[in-house]
Amino acid sequence: MSSRFPDTLLRLKPPPFEYHAPTTVEEAYALLGSLEDAKVLAGGQSLIPLLNFRLARPQHLVDINRIADLDRIYERDGGVAVQALARQAAVEDSELAARICPLLSAAVGLVAHRVIRNRGTVCGSLAHADAASELPAVLLALGGSVVVRSSRGERTIPAVQLFAGVFETTLAPDEMIVEAWFPALREPFAILEESRRHGDFALAGVVRAGPKLALFGVAPTPVLADPRDPARELQPSGDLEATPEFRMHLVRVLTEKAFAA
């Protein structure tokens, strides 16, 4: 294609990768099972920035967006099941989610901005496993789970076993999250976070689901904590935006607020 611009402007931002666009889940599992160093591309709202910065350099991208019927939000086992391509905005607008698990609806509205949520997916947030993001902590507080599939079969991973470290899950390289499951919650709930800018990642955040408490932004993964002494075994990191002490202070204050209701 001809261009009116000099070559320097035509340099590509993402690092080299091979692009695959399967149209069925079986094809996706086969690709993930046979390719070395492949990444699933769903909403791309975390992965594409990492590519643009060249912080991630996967050899292969498996774009699942062309797979049909993978975007349902439905009731399962009394809770809300959210499939891999259900956008965060769809979950935010879902009456089913609001009725069965209002904590999920509230939490999803805090993820970045609406324009990002139009594209970003719930399962993608969980797979990305950013310790400062809301949805992993919500899944943990609720005691939810994810269904992961590969050409070897299917298994269910409970939230307590899903998050392994910084941006790390216990998924095998050939596995993909096909569905997240959020249990019903009728007890009091709250999700509170403190960030420097609206829509930015939280310096610290707390999720209350009934009597249970999960924290985010204060450890390599989201963590469950004791509401009576939430900062007890915490060793949060410090950076330009917040010292470890300030993060622990935020955890105590936000927990108190979350359980005051």
Partner 1 sequence: MKVNGVERQSPADARRLLSDYLRHELGLTGTHVGCEHGVCGCCTVLLDGAPVRSCLMLAVQAEGHDVTTIEGLARDDQALHPVQQAFHECHGLQCGFCTPGFVMSVVGLLAQHPSPSPQQIDEGIAGNLCRCTGYASIRRAVQRAAELSPSPHTGEGRGEGET
Binding site for partner 1 (CB under 8 A): 1, 3-5, 9-10, 12-14, 16-17, 19, 21, 41, 44-45, 48-49, 52-53, 63, 65-66, 89, 112-116, 118-119, 198-199
Q: Judged by CB, which is closer to partner 1: 33, or 44?
A: 44
- Using the minimum distance from each CB to partner 1, give the nearer residue, 8 or 153: 8
Minimum CB–partner distance for residue 72 and partner 1 (Å): 18
CB of 38 to partner 1, least distance (A): 14
Instruction: Give least dist CB 198 to partner 1, A.
Output: 5
How many Å is the Cα radius of gyration of the chain?
19
Q: CB nearer to partner 1: give 81 or 112.
A: 112
| CB of 43 or CB of 144, closer to partner 1 | 43
- Least separation in angstroms between CB 15 and partner 1: 8
Number of C-alpha atoms within 13 angstroms, CB side, residue 183?
Answer: 15
Q: Which of these, 68, 64, 120, 66, lies nearest to 92 by C-alpha position? A: 120
Beta pairing, strands 60-63 & 18-20: parallel
Query: What are the start-end ranges of the H helices in the chain?
Result: 25-34, 47-52, 88-92, 95-100, 102-108, 114-117, 122-128, 134-142, 159-162, 244-260
| C-beta atoms surrounding 228 within 10 Å | 9
Per-residue buried b or exposed e for 48-62, using 16+ beta carbons within 10 Å of the residue's own CB:
bebbeeeebebebbb
121 vs 150 by CB, closer to partner 1: 121
CB of 231 to partner 1, least distance (A): 30
Q: What does the block give as tokens for 53?
A: 């910065």
Query: Closest separation between CB of residue 160 and partner 1, Å?
Result: 30
Q: Which residues contact 203 (CB under 8 A, 6 or more apart)?
A: 193, 194, 195, 196, 217, 241, 242, 246, 247, 250
How many other C-beta atoms are found inside a 10 Å radius of the C-beta of residue 223?
A: 18
Nearer to partner 1, 100 or 112 (CB): 112
For partner 1, the closer CB: 51 or 82:
51
Rounded to a whole number of angstroms, the minimum distance from the CB of residue 26 to partner 1 is: 21
Question: Where do the H-state alpha helices sit in 94-220?
Answer: 95-100, 102-108, 114-117, 122-128, 134-142, 159-162
